[in-house]
């Protein structure tokens, strides 16, 4: 995409937001990318970019977006359900969700109480989630990535 096309896309998005459109995660990523691009075009060096609070925030937003995208659509859904479980269901999956969703959330949250109540071992829960869903080959790394995002920790 050319700079001119990108500029016009951002102007149109700004007009939408001015007119009351909701701000999305993609808007935050767009803004973060624009901040970093402007700083680089202004000739800021790597150390200046690292020291500038606006650029650090923008880079953190971009890094979070990349990590979340790497989870895949199902991983992002499980992440969102885990957040809901923590906020509204005492750290347990909601009974209103499908059994597969409940198992995945219980597995990510390491909810042994829920698993025991539903006669699942950790291994059986992992097998069910891995068999039913499109998850990466390194299933444990996928679970850990969701847990990392859930806890708001950036990988080091």
Tens of pLDDT along 55-82? 777 777 777 777 777 778 888 899 999 9
Q: What percent of the chain has pLDDT over 90?
A: 33
Judgement on whether residues 146 and 76 belong to the same structural domain of the protein: yes
Determine the Cα–Cα distance for residues 79 and 58; give it in Å rounded to an integer. Answer: 22
Structural domain containing residue 62: 3-70
Evaluate whether residue 21 is within a structural domain. yes
114 and 137 in a single domain? The answer is yes
In this prediction, residue 139 carries a pLDDT of 84
Burial label, 97 (beta-carbon count in 10 A; 0-12, 13-18, 19+) = middle
Q: List, for residues 15-52, the tens digit of each pLDDT value.
A: 776 777 666 667 777 777 777 787 888 888 878 877 77
Q: What is the DSSP letter of 26?
A: H
State the total domains in the chain.
2
Same-domain check for residues 133 and 81? yes
User: Per-residue confidence at 97, pLDDT binned at 50, 70, 90?
Assistant: very high
């Amino acid at each position: 995409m050319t700079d001119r096309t990108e500029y016009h896309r951002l102007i149109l998005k700004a007009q939408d937001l001015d007119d009351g459109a909701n701000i999305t995660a993609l808007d935050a990523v767009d803004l973060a990318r624009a901040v970093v691009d402007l700083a680089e075009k202004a000739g800021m060096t790597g150390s200046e970019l690292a020291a500038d609070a606006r650029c650090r925030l923008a880079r953190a937003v971009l890094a979070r977006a990349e990590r979340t995208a790497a989870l895949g659509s199902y991983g992002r859904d499980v992440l969102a359900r885990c957040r809901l479980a923590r906020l509204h269901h005492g750290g347990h999956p909601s009974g209103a969700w499908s059994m597969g969703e409940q198992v995945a959330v219980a597995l990510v949250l390491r909810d042994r109480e829920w698993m025991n109540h539903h006669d699942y071992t950790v291994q059986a829960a992992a097998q069910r989630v891995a068999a039913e869903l499109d998850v990466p080959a390194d299933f444990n790394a996928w679970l850990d990535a969701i847990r990392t995002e859930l806890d708001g920790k950036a990988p080091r």
